Structure 1
Amino acid sequence: MYQAIILGFILIITLYVLKRMREPKLNMPPLIRYKFPIIGHTYSYLYNTEEFLKQCRKEYGDIFCLYIWGQVRIIVGKEHSQEVLSRDDVFDFSKAIERIFPGDVMLKTLERFTNTSKVLKEYVLNKMKFYNERMQNSLYSATKKQIGECDEPKVIYNIYNLITKIISAPIANIFVGEEISQYEEIITTFAEFTSDSAIFLMIPPILDFIYPGLQNYINRIILRLGLYNPAVKHQNILIKHLKKQICKRLQDKEKNGESWKRPDDFLQDTMEEEDFDPNNVDYPFIADKLGVFIFVSIHSTSSTCANAIIDLASRPEYMQELYEEQLEVHKEADENGILPFEALNNMKKLDSFIRESLRLTGFITGLQHAILKDYTFSNGLQVPEDYLIDLYFDDIYVDESLQGPNPKSFEPFRHLDANVPASKVTRNYLAFGGGKHACPGRQFAINEIKFFMHYAILKYNFRTESGKIEEKTRLGPMTSPSSCGVVFEKRNK
């Protein structure tokens, strides 16, 4: 027993020494001193993130290194963050994700799907105006179902979970069609796919203390051996419904010929691709294809929407002003209450509110990038291939020269005069990344949130149960929407 413990300890120390020996000798950014071997800065980074990084920035400048989870991590602040975002030949966001999340193994046919941005643009983003009415009808129906009339005050806890079901409804409608999206288990799959799959991101990478990347390596083995895969149950549900729907569409088309009414959705666009074989349909591939878009869209949109709702519920003094704007906008609606697509441009105060909510989401660092090759920053500091870089969001979001007066204060109409919509990427706003690889679906996400909040503000009064400003739930440098109670009650017109 003791011999095994001693041998294990010797192995850990040996790997640690070998790891330090292979560290490059470039003119790297300064490595902040730490007291404890192996653990390094991990504890301070997780439990005192804001103050710890602020002190590091003050003493060591815009770029510095920390020793976190068994490896050196490079933190880049406001002065050089745009270099990271603009040099996609050097810094790669997707490669960084691969090193911590085994999505390519979880979705086994994912390696064949290489044109995600192009497909998303052609099948969805270019058709946003076309999908306008369906999105609103689906959103409003889901809101009535999930929140209800609220004739009596209704308290909803952990509103993120409820919002995911509301947000999932129109996305499912557009991706798999109106018929399939009526099934509760489909909505549940869209709502829960990301949170279930993200378990590999939630588990602390403790094994990386032994050697960098060991945690991801073990996770991949678990998936390859079929010991555990949280995506499987959702894939099975998608495949079950896809089989029925695709067969039905093929039969209807053959039966009705030219009089066949073509469904308009992502699924039908997929069925009309050149490599689609109606005699040998690759259902797992189509399910994995859908899984990619579910993963990157539902969680981020739902989190943003939940935060905006809680931010407004925490500040009821802004409710009347937003209500009056939405009343004016609603004059453009047709007899069924559906707004024209162009009405989104007139929700200027609401848009500014959402942008401010996104600006103050509370993430201190993020947008991790992998370094593809050695690089020298404009200040002369060098970073080596294979290391990871995190952007220091707080260095940007609390800077008065970039944000204006009182950068820490939530000022919902801060962005009105600047004429910068919530979906616009700027140097002082990194909610959707930046450069060539800024989130391609950001306009779609903001549109959906604005339509939902338009309806919610007109239909309900809502406030926090505590009557106070509710803060985000923090986990190290990241946050998630508060699980506080939000009180909804029917608005008296």
Structure 2
Amino acid sequence: MANLIPNIIFGSHLDVTSTQILGCGISLAVALYLAQRWMDGNKQSSPLVPYRFPIIGSTFEWNANPAKFIKDATKNYGSVFRIYANGRVQTVVGKDLVRNVAVNDDFNVIEAVHDDFDLDYMLRGGKQLDLKLPKLITKHITPNLKAYTPRVVRKLNESMDNWLGGVQDYTTMEDPAIMIQDMVANASASVFVGEELCNNKTFIHTSKVLTSDVGNMMSKMGLIKLMPRLSTLYQRHACPGRFFAVQEIKTIVSILIRKYRIVRPTPAVSRSIKINPKGPLMFIKRE
């Protein structure tokens, strides 16, 4: 190939060394041109954040401070843009559009996840569900939330009574997140698998452990590992099931606040909004 191209263009009067050098140079130039066109895309593609070094791209700037990189790129190029970092071109979608992308039939977030983690193989021996989970949620559960709401609220109240029903005046809970997880799991199960199975404590415990383990594993792979900020955006906006759970948590907080005054037994806990609140909570029964 290195000899063929210059012979066609310049004839056979070049010596062997010149022919090889010229052929390699032309081949390299063509390869770089094709690679650049592939990275730049066409006029309909989202804008590519400019970079100085062709092979390295924006890797150094991205790895140094992903949050600042995303903020600056969003300001300059909008909520959808592409970056060339860590050896590949990646499309970044802002929080205002990421859920639309995730639930759009032209895209398939579940198939993208299957590239690294095949849930069908683990749970069903490779057999796929006839109805995909995103469609199941968006077409059958989300439009019927009003029908499911009474059941969810009833299960939330039952779970709360199991945890706090015996409280006379007040109680201190070392890890309130466990109670919240239990309430969410029971209420979600009443919708997804029915009220009979949601009363099976073994099933509820297994589903909570599986959800936690899979979530921890997914947070360590792909873009979520390279872009920690996208984890929050995905959990809040991309996953309809996550959105459903968020609504449950809001309902839980509303129910708890109506029945209990919630305070921290140690006022010295940091109030910084950048630090996740940890430690025990005191539930004081309202009169």
| 1:456 Cα deviation after fit | 0.2
CA gap of 1:147–1:68, structure 2 versus 1, over 3 A, is farther
Match of 1:461 among 236, 261, 283: 261
Residue ranges of structure 2 left out of the alignment (5+ in a row): 1-30
Check the 8 A contact 2:170/2:285 in 1, yes or no: no
Match of 1:103 among 107, 119, 144: 119
Check the 8 A contact 1:49/1:364 in 2, yes or no: no
Matched with 2:249 is 449
TM-score, normalised relative to structure 1: 0.39
1:484 counterpart SS class: coil
Between structure 1 and structure 2, the one with the greater Rg is 2
Distance 1:89 1:32 in 2: 31
| 1:457 Cα deviation after fit | 0.5
2:240 counterpart SS class: coil
CA gap of 1:147–1:52, structure 2 versus 1, over 3 A, is farther
What amino acid is the match of 2:255?
Y
Asked whether 1:491 is paired with 2:263, we answer no
Matched with 2:207 is 190
Asked whether 1:41 is paired with 2:59, we answer yes
After superposition, the C-alpha distances for 1:194-230 in whole angstroms (9 at most, x for unaligned) are 1212344133459x99xxxxxxxxxxxxxxxxxxxxx
Matched with 2:162 is 145
CA gap of 1:178–1:47, structure 2 versus 1, over 3 A, is farther
* Equivalences for residues 281-320 of structure 1 within 5 A: none
Distance 1:451 1:77 in 2: 27
Distance 1:118 1:86 in 2: 11
* Equivalences for residues 312-391 of structure 1 within 5 A: 366-367=233-234
Distance 1:138 1:87 in 2: 28
Matched with 2:180 is 163
Distance 1:34 1:203 in 2: 29
Check the 8 A contact 2:81/2:93 in 1, yes or no: yes
Q: Whose helix proportion is higher, 1 or 2? A: 2
Residue ranges of structure 1 left out of the alignment (5+ in a row): 1-17, 210-361, 368-429, 474-481
Check the 8 A contact 2:219/2:231 in 1, yes or no: no
* Equivalences for residues 43-442 of structure 1 within 5 A: 45=62, 48-58=65-75, 60-62=76-78, 64-76=81-93, 81=97, 85=101, 88=104, 91-107=107-123, 108-116=125-133, 119-120=136-137, 124=141, 128-146=145-163, 149=167, 151-157=169-175, 159-204=176-221, 366-367=233-234, 431-433=236-238, 439=240, 442=243
CA-based RMSD: 4.6
Matched with 2:15 is none
TM-score, normalised relative to structure 2: 0.61
2:128 counterpart SS class: helix
Check the 8 A contact 2:51/2:57 in 1, yes or no: no
CA gap of 1:34–1:128, structure 2 versus 1, over 3 A, is same
**Count of paired positions:** 243
| 1:75 Cα deviation after fit | 2.8
Percent identity, aligned pairs only, is 21
1:30 counterpart SS class: coil
